[in-house]
Amino acid sequence: MIEPTCAHPPTIILIDPQGSGNIGACARAMMNFGLTQLRLVRPKTNWLNLETRKMASGANEILEAIQIYPSTQEACADLQVIYATGSKSRDMVKPVYTPRHAAQEIYKFTQEDAAVGILFGTEPSGLGNQDVMRARALIQIPTSTLFDSLNLAQAVLLIGYEFFQTHLPSTFSPTHLSGRGNTYATQDELYGFLDQLEGELDTANFWRVPAKKPDMLINVRNIFNRLQLTKQEVSTLRGIVKALVYYRWKP
């Protein structure tokens, strides 16, 4: 047996989980590889039942600590680095990682005490663009072209396994942030800036055609989500926007 050495393993976030069995099976998969934090967004009523516990197969510690949220935004608010999972192609620029590549990058972030979250959608439809937009990168699991059907717990298991492997002796050498202001911004802090930016763009009539705003806004927000900004960088960007607005209206 190998004990994980990560003080802050990534948080698993299930969006609109459909079945109690899926939740229990995910908890079991997580427990196998040292992942302890499970969050649910809009689960069905009475999700914690006999079927959940049966499929968890003893991973009750995770079940009892599950946190429930009404929206993805609230589930991610205190996290700093977000990844999304899925196999669909997206109409946005987003790096695509294998679980192994993602695990190595996640390991680097967790060694810097960054709070990492991984989003999982439903089996029938996956994640929506509003959820994927929040992510730094998309994790796709390579499968046979003849049959690419994975259930939710299998996806959690594969990504958990790859993350666990980063704790084994290897030639992998993580890199770290250096310099002042080297703490990553939380989603709450980042979206405070993005809300500020959206408000000023509204005032400046940037969108021109109102019907195009939702898609354009996703693209704008996606740019900044991809950059993985620090707290200091977000603060600087907020100051830049404030200064531009001030001098725009200055007599």
Answer yes or no: is pLDDT of 122 > 90.
Answer: no
Supply the pLDDT for residue 19.
87
Answer yes or no: is pLDDT of 126 > 60.
Answer: yes
Answer yes or no: is pLDDT of 25 > 90.
Answer: yes
Q: What is the DSSP letter of 212?
A: G
| CB-based contact 23:59 (threshold 8 Å) | no
> In the structure, what pLDDT confidence band is assigned to residue 8 with cuts at 50, 70 and 90?
confident
3-state secondary structure of 227: helix
Supply the pLDDT for residue 117.
98
Cα 127 to chain centroid distance, Å, stands at 11
Supply the pLDDT for residue 149.
80
3-state secondary structure of 176: coil
Residue 225 CB coordination number (10 Å):
25
Answer yes or no: is pLDDT of 241 > 80.
Answer: yes
- Mean pLDDT of the region 178-201: 89
| CB-based contact 98:104 (threshold 8 Å) | no
Supply the pLDDT for residue 233.
93
3-state secondary structure of 91: coil
The set of residues, in sequence order, having a beta carbon less than 8 Å from that of 119 and lying 6+ positions away, is 13, 15, 72, 76, 82, 83, 84, 85, 127, 131, 132, 134, 135
pTM: 0.85
Give buried/exposed letters for 62-99 (b at 16+ CB in 10 A, else e).
bbeebeebeebeebbeebbbbbbbbeeebebebeebeb
Answer yes or no: is pLDDT of 2 > 50.
Answer: no
Per DSSP, the residues of 69-81 read ESSHHHHHTT-SE
Model confidence pLDDT, tens digit, residues 197-208: 999 999 999 998
CA–CA dist 191, 73 (Å, integer): 9
Q: Which is more confident, 79 or 177?
A: 79
